[in-house]
Amino acid sequence: MSKPYGGQLAEICEKFRIESSLDSVETLIDGIINKTFKVNFTSGKSYLLQQINSFVFARPEQVMGNIDLVTAHIMKKNPDGCNLHFHHTADGKNYYIDKNGSFWRLRNYLDAVTFNTCDDIAVLENAGRAFGRFQNMLSDFDASVLCETIPGFHNTVARMETLFEHASSDPMGRAAEVVRELDFISSVREKATELCKMTLSGAIPTRVTHNDTKISNVLFDKNTRLPLTVIDLDTVMPGMAAYDFGDTVRSAAGTASEDERDLSIVSLDIAKFEAYAKGFVSETRSGLTKTEIDTLAQGAFCVTVEQAVRFLDDYLTGDKYYKISYPLHNLCRARCQLKLAGDMLEKLPAMEKTVAKYAAL
Ligand code: GN1
Ligand code: MG
């Protein structure tokens, strides 16, 4: 049995009142923010134990407060579905802070399959349905009860400003390496911040959204490949439907993974885009405004540029936010996202036409 944290994980699991002994622990590579373990008990049951990254989430108890409210809402809407269940400690909290101040949570383990990239068109359409339904389930959720767990999370305007400030203060002496990237970002700055500005002015409504709709955040049935549930509710808070739509396009409708180094193979696959758009738009066309529908495709471009800005900013400021596997990882991620965004810009008219086709059905 592997013993990450020197066996301390058993003690942490006990706090969540699991009535069995810890048998084995598997470290899962799951996302690039939190640490995730599959903990297997002698009873035969498994759970997902996560250590929340408190550099990213300064107030993890607010994240867990939001999750309590959102999971209860979804459970009411979808009582017979496959739902996330976070276990509570003896004092009724859905988290535990250990003696080192680390923040832990434990939920039911769902035996399912996830995709980081995906060539199966049917899976993409189903991912669209899953995130579309998730959006619908939250359409009557009172946004005012949610904490903004990461202020300005999808404020592309502010993220751009921060990037350019860091490019000029250059704390790590890396700005000279990214001149071309900064030039490209400047050239698309207006288009990439347009939806964010429309939301700030009220032209696009603010909704309760997932805000991290990577395709890896949908669980699919191992056999049928139908969507089971949407996971990673850490950033559910007020946001833009177009960014939720767009982030799945960014993560799943490209021809390569998020950190591909061979930029010659990075582009948007229009067939994948169409499959995803079909699923998402079929579920949401009656709930979203015309302006929202009309700007969904642009949302993919905006969120992809924003993601590049975030990776590049992390590179310029010393790689503190995202986990990296090698020194230039964030720079490579940023370059890959910029290549994808550039291709999306060229294909935007076709993408908009595709969305309009499914909106009109
Ligand atoms: C992070 O939670 P995870 O690792 O799937 C990030 C997202 C980014 C994504 C890029 C809280 O997602 O916003 O889009 O990495 N989450 C947070 O892979 O910053
Ligand atoms: Mg996340």
Give yes or no for residue 91 having a pLDDT over 90. yes
Mean pLDDT of 256-267: 97
**Closest CA to ligand 1's atom 13:** 212
* CA of 311, closest atom in ligand 1: 10
pLDDT of residue 361: 86
- Is 307 close to ligand 1, i.e. is its CB under 6 Å away? yes
Ligand 1 within 6 A of 250 CB? no
Report which protein residue has its CA nearest ligand 1's atom 17.
33
- For residue 232, the ligand closest to its alpha carbon is 2
Q: pLDDT-based confidence at 19, cuts 50/70/90?
A: confident
CB 153 within 8 A of CB 306: no
Task: Report whether residue 306 contacts ligand 1, using a CB cutoff of 6 Å.
Answer: no
Q: What gap in Å lies between CA 18 and CA 360, rounded to an integer?
A: 50
Tens digit of pLDDT for each residue in 226-243? Answer: 999 999 999 999 999 999
Q: Which residue's C-alpha comes closest to atom 7 of ligand 1?
A: 212
Average model confidence (pLDDT) across the chain = 95
C-alpha 361 to ligand 2 mean position (Å): 33
Rounded mean pLDDT, 65-88? 94
Q: In the block, which residue shows the tokens 């009220």?
A: 202
Q: Which of 305, 312, 323 is nearest to 177 (CA)?
A: 312
Residues 336 and 325 sit within 8 Å (Cβ to Cβ) = no
**What's the token pair of residue 52?**
């929340």
List the beta bridge partners of residue 237.
209
By the 8 A CB rule, do 217 and 116 touch?
no
Cβ of 267 less than 6 Å from ligand 1: no
Residue 232 Cβ inside 6 Å of ligand 1? The answer reads yes
Q: Which ligand is nearest to the CA of 53?
A: 1
pLDDT-above-90 percentage for the chain:
94
**pLDDT tens digits, one per residue of 111-139:** 999 999 899 999 999 999 999 999 999 99
Is the pLDDT at 175 greater than 70, yes or no?
Answer: yes
Question: What is the structure's pLDDT at 126?
Answer: 97
Q: Residue 223 is encoded by which pair of tokens?
A: 């056999």
Confidence of residue 7 (pLDDT cuts 50, 70, 90): confident
pLDDT, position 210: 97
- The b-or-e profile of 186-209 (16+ CB within 10 A means b, else e) is eebbeebbbbbebbeeeebeebbb
Q: How would residue 6 be classed by pLDDT, with cut points 50, 70 and 90?
A: low
Per-residue pLDDT averaged across 78-102, rounded?
Answer: 94
- pLDDT tier at 29, thresholds 50, 70, 90: confident
Q: Which atom of ligand 1 is nearest to the CA of 247?
A: 14
Beta strands in 159-234 (DSSP E): 207-209, 218-220, 227-230
Question: How many residues are recorded in the chain?
Answer: 361
The region, left, alpha or beta by phi > 0 then psi within -120 to 50, assigned to residue 24 is: beta
Closest by alpha carbon to 237, among 207, 267, 277?
Answer: 207
Residue of 214, 251, 319 with the most ligand 1 atoms within 8 Å of its CB, for mutation: 214
pLDDT score of 192: 98
